[in-house]
Amino acid sequence: MKYISKNIQKYLTKENLKSYKSLCKQRTLFIKTSRPNPVVMYNKWAKRRWTGIPGRHSFYYIEDPNEKQIWKDYWNKIGFFCYKISKIEMSALEEKERITCKPGTMLKYISGRNDSDYRKGLRFLLEEKSDRDHYSLVSIGGHSSFERRIWKWKWVVQQLEIEIEA
């Protein structure tokens, strides 16, 4: 994950927020300043050569072993930044889960820009934690009222927010 959404960022501690912002700056600065030059790539199956910028998982097309190592190191460094950012994001998601996912809490759908009016009106009553990774929710409102569903914890945390606390 490159960026954490604003509604999740508010659950970060101050030091985590500070380190998240510095990691994002370091990542963009690294991408802008140290991008290697385009390289010649070759596909044995299609017997075709081309010059371009290889993606994260297309090292095997690069002909020159030195260039291959340069690009591998470049993408590994970017992957390191993304790994650190995802660790911070996971701590924020766990904190939001601890606060919002209590039995009897009324949750509402966080509507995005492109969502329909139907989704904006969705409300859920959190019943219980059904197992380690899932919650049992009852939908209230919409065309499927009082329908019980089991949702994964990450979806509940990312897509819903507290309307009425238990």
Q: What is the CATH number of domain 102-164?
A: 2.30.30
Structure tokens at 154: 């990450």
pTM: 0.78
pLDDT band at 43 (very low <50, low <70, confident <90, very high): confident
pLDDT band at 120 (very low <50, low <70, confident <90, very high): low
How remote is the C-alpha of 119 from its chain's centroid?
21
Q: What is the mean pLDDT of the chain?
A: 86
Whole-angstrom distance, CA of residue 58 vs CA of residue 47: 16
Q: What is the largest CA-CA distance in the chain?
A: 64
Structure tokens at 14: 């101050």
pLDDT > 90: what percent of the chain?
36
- pLDDT (tens digit per residue) in 58-117: 877 888 889 999 999 999 999 999 999 999 999 999 999 999 889 999 988 876 655 555
The pLDDT, as a whole number, for residue 28 is 92
Contact 103, 156 (CB under 8 A): no
Of the listed ranges 4-13, 75-84, 143-152, the least confidently predicted one is 143-152
- Mean pLDDT score, 130-153: 83
Q: Where are the domains of the chain?
A: 6-99, 102-164
Neighbouring residues of 94: CB distance < 8 A, sequence distance ≥ 6: none
